[in-house]
Amino acid sequence: MDELSADLHQRLRRRVLGIQRSCRLPSLVVVVARKGRTLTEIYSGVADVAAELPAGPGVQYRLGSITKTITAVGIMQQVTVGKVGLEQRLDALWPQAPHGELRIADLLSHTSGLQREPVGEVWETLLLPSREELPANAAAARRVLPVGGFWHYSNLAYALLGEVLARASGQEWERYVRERILEPLGMTRTTWVPAAPHAAGYSVSPYQDAPFVEPLLDSRSLGPAAQLWSTATDLSRWASFLANGSPEVLGSEALGAMRVPRVLADLDGWSRAWGLGLMLVRRGESVYSGHTGSMPGFQAAAFAAPTSATSVAVVCNSTSGFNSADLASEILETVGAGEPEPWRPQESAPPDIASILGRWWSEWTEWALSWVDGQLLLRQASTPAAPAERYRRTGADQFVAESGGERGEELRLVRDESGQVVKFYRATYPFTREPKSFGPD
């Protein structure tokens, strides 16, 4: 196991153990990783009071809505093979589907306007519709907001997406997820129902320290939204996947599309948004992608910092008491600030790339082309710390922007009679080695 510095590890340990105590959580487990390698495991408390089972990274806890991210990845797998389209209507994939005019992208990003839960007092009766009952129940559900207008969280939407995944793949949701996602990632301790050793779920009395055991709720047709159980170790594998991707499960391009903000969930502070199944949390100048989860007696979080390939998994067995997303993002910020990746020498750029690196001018502003980690980067020279535009080569003298404000636009080199590059165009704007006015030479 790779290690954090002793000082940083102790800071994180004090923070996690302090939260477990001050928030009165029966147990709390945190695993931090970078590029899939575990940096630290911190745990405290009791996973099962009656059985005297101590907390640990190998004990199962309920994931709740983190299950949605797994369903969303399954949908994106079907998108990449052409069986599902993000702009497709639901009824194009599921004939006679309830609310069939809704698009897959709206269901994934919580912009469908569907009410949050199935029809009925489900959190009082603890009776959720079966898969056979889902169509009629969903058909009776209200559309509480216009489609695509605002973010509105909906467990019901993910029940419908679970049915889409089953129909598109020809497999039951459980089998598909196990064979296509969990097993390739080595998540062998992630299951539909709890498997020992597993935690008991609790709520703690607000006026005394006595824990009350919460009932086990079978999500039934809402399983694709909230059913899974997992360990902190397995959840860390999932969080690492969200940071790094996996060619066996979902490539970096499709995973990157899931992180693109589709809707603001926090219209006042702009601190939280949603992509395609992923929650995007802003903390300072950083944005972390992942999801939280809660079910009676449990809370969890899995978040990643894709720029540093750092990830964190958090599980606890308490209904309330703390904000798992806040803790996860705080840890990612602390680890990112305290343990920067060392700079390492790299191979030289190819000769034809090396010849174009350096200073360029456009609109009387200085820019710099550089070659870092095998990628061509362009940024304003006056802001060297700002994120650069990344370019992918598409031809001998042509590149396409893969990030930044000009994503998708072309960068085209212009050579003189000797073959030397004397100019390039970026989104039709000319860049030259010396500053010059608009218009022809």
pLDDT band at 340 (very low <50, low <70, confident <90, very high): low
pLDDT of residue 1: 43
Please determine, for residue 199, whether its predicted confidence score (pLDDT) is greater than 60: yes
Q: Which amino acid is at 155?
A: N
Residues 6+ apart with CB under 8 A from 335: 4, 8, 12, 32, 34, 39, 310, 312
Cis (ω within 30 of 0) for the bond into 197? yes
pLDDT, tens digit, for every residue of 176-190? 999 999 999 999 999
User: Tens of pLDDT along 120-173?
Assistant: 998 889 899 999 999 999 999 999 999 998 999 999 999 999 999 999 999 999
Confidence of residue 45 (pLDDT cuts 50, 70, 90): very high
Mean pLDDT score across all residues of the chain: 94
Q: What is the pLDDT of residue 336?
A: 83
In this prediction, residues 312-334 reach a mean pLDDT of 95
Q: What is the pLDDT of residue 176?
A: 98
Neighbours of 84 (CB within 10 A): 22
Determine contact, residues 380/386, Cβ cutoff 8 Å.
yes
The pLDDT of 386-408, averaged and rounded, is: 92
**Mean pLDDT on 312-340:** 90
Query: Considering only CA atoms, which of 21, 78, 90, 33 is closest in space to residue 314?
Result: 33
The answer to whether residue 59 scores a pLDDT higher than 90 is: yes
* Alpha carbon 402 to its chain's center: 19
| pLDDT for position 3 | 67
User: How many angstroms separate the Cα of 21 from the Cα of each of 28, 61, 209?
Assistant: 10, 19, 11
Q: What is the CATH number of domain 6-338?
A: 3.40.710.10
Q: Is residue 138 within 8 Å of 130, Cβ to Cβ?
A: no
Dmax over Cα atoms in the chain, in whole Å? 84
Q: Which residues have C-beta within 8 Å of that of residue 16, sequence separation ≥ 6?
A: 28, 30, 42, 43, 44, 327
Query: What's the pTM?
Result: 0.88
pLDDT at 225 over 90: yes
Query: Residue 222: pLDDT band by 50, 70, 90 thresholds?
Result: very high
Please give the share of the chain, as a percent, with pLDDT higher than 70.
98
The domain made up of 351-432 is a member of CATH 2.40.128.50: yes
Q: What percent of the chain has pLDDT over 90?
A: 87
Residue 339 — very low, low, confident or very high, per pLDDT cuts 50/70/90?
A: low
**Taking 90 as the threshold, does the pLDDT of residue 360 lie above it?**
yes
At 211, the pLDDT band (50, 70, 90 cuts) reads very high
Q: Please provide the DSSP assignment of 131-194 as one string.
A: TTTHHHHHHT--B-S-TTTS----HHHHHHHHHHHHHHHTS-HHHHHIIIIITTTT-TT-BSS-
- Phi then psi dihedrals of residue 291, to 5 deg: -170, 155
For CATH 2.40.128.50, list the domain ranges present in the chain.
351-432
pLDDT band at 345 (very low <50, low <70, confident <90, very high): confident
Distance CA 412, CA 414 (A): 7
Q: Which segments of the chain belong to CATH 3.40.710.10? A: 6-338
Whole-number Å distance between alpha carbons of 427 and 413: 12
**CA-to-CA distance for 282 and 263, rounded, in angstroms?**
14
Cβ–Cβ under 8 Å, residues 231 and 31: no
Residue 288 has pLDDT above 60, yes or no: yes
Question: What is the arithmetic mean of pLDDT over 359-364?
Answer: 95
